[in-house]
Structure 1
Amino acid sequence: MPEGHTLHRLARLHQRRYAGAPVRVSSPQGRFAADAARLDGQVLRSAEAYGKHLFHNYGPQGTVHVHLGLYGTFTEAKLPETPPVGQVRMRLAGRTHWTDLRGPTRCELLTEPEAEAIKARLGPDPLRRDAEPEQAWERISRSRTSIAALLMDQSVLAGVGNVYRAEVLFRHGIAPMLPGRSLDAVLWKDIWDDLVTLMRAGVRTGRIDTVADEHLPEVTGRAPRQDRHGGEVYVYRRTGQPCLVCGAPIAHKELAGRNLYWCPTCQPS
Structure 2
Amino acid sequence: MPEGNILHRIARIHGQWLVGRSFTADSPQGRFSAGARRLSGRRLVGVDAHGKHLFHHFEGGVRLHIHLGLFGHLRHFRSRAPPPSAACRLRLASPQVTLHLAGPQACELLSPEDETELRSRLGQDPLRPDASPSRAFEALRKGRIPLAAALLDQERIAGVGNILRAEALFLARLPPLRPASELRLADFERLWEALGRLMEDAARDGRIVTPHSPPAPWETPGKRREDRFSVYDRAGQPCPRCATPISRVTLAGRGLFFCPGCQTPGAHGRPARRARTDSSGGRTRI
Q: Answer with 239-248 or 30-39: which moved more.
A: 239-248
Task: Please state whether the residue corresponding to 2:60 is helix, strand or coil.
Answer: helix
In the alignment, what sits opposite 2:224?
A: 226
Distance 1:231-1:248 versus aligned 2 partners, 3 A rule: closer
Deviation at 1:143, TM superposition (A): 2.4
Letter in structure 1 aligned against 2:252: A
In the alignment, what sits opposite 1:30?
A: 30
Task: Please state whether the residue corresponding to 2:44 is helix, strand or coil.
Answer: coil
In the alignment, what sits opposite 2:260?
A: 264
Q: Return the alpha-carbon distance in structure 1 between the equivalents of residues 181 and 92 of structure 2.
A: 45
**CA-based RMSD:** 1.8
Q: Where does structure 1 lack aligned partners over 5 or more consecutive residues?
A: none
Q: Return the alpha-carbon distance in structure 1 between the equivalents of residues 132 and 96 of structure 2.
A: 37
Q: 8 Å contact 1:72–1:105 — kept in the other structure?
A: yes
In the alignment, what sits opposite 1:72?
A: 72
Task: Please state whether the residue corresponding to 1:210 is helix, strand or coil.
Answer: coil
TM-score (norm 1): 0.93
Distance 1:141-1:85 versus aligned 2 partners, 3 A rule: closer
Report the number of matched residues: 265
TM alignment of 1:61-100, pairs within 5 A: 61-100=61-100
Matched, 1:183 2:183: yes
Task: Please state whether the residue corresponding to 1:167 is helix, strand or coil.
Answer: helix
Q: Return the alpha-carbon distance in structure 1 between the equivalents of residues 175 and 198 of structure 2.
A: 20
In the alignment, what sits opposite 2:249?
A: 253
Letter in structure 2 aligned against 1:245: R
Deviation at 1:49, TM superposition (A): 0.3
Deviation at 1:80, TM superposition (A): 2.1
Letter in structure 2 aligned against 1:81: A
Deviation at 1:163, TM superposition (A): 0.6
Identity rate, percent: 42
Q: Return the alpha-carbon distance in structure 2 between the equivalents of residues 68 and 112 of structure 1.
A: 21
Q: Where does structure 2 lack aligned partners over 5 or more consecutive residues?
A: 266-286
Q: Answer with 102-111 or 13-22: which moved more.
A: 13-22
Q: Return the alpha-carbon distance in structure 1 between the equivalents of residues 56 and 90 of structure 2.
A: 12
Deviation at 1:231, TM superposition (A): 6.5
Matched, 1:192 2:188: no
Q: 8 Å contact 1:3–1:159 — kept in the other structure?
A: yes
TM alignment of 1:105-184, pairs within 5 A: 105-184=105-184
Task: Please state whether the residue corresponding to 2:101 is helix, strand or coil.
Answer: strand
Deviation at 1:70, TM superposition (A): 0.6
Q: 8 Å contact 2:28–2:86 — kept in the other structure?
A: no
Per-residue Cα deviation, 1:23-53 (whole angstroms, up to 9, x for no partner): 1211111111111011101011111100000
Q: 8 Å contact 1:39–1:61 — kept in the other structure?
A: no
TM-score (norm 2): 0.87
Q: 8 Å contact 2:140–2:157 — kept in the other structure?
A: no
Q: 8 Å contact 2:42–2:59 — kept in the other structure?
A: no
Per-residue Cα deviation, 1:123-169 (whole angstroms, up to 9, x for no partner): 11000000011112112234211110111110000011111100111
Deviation at 1:217, TM superposition (A): 5.2
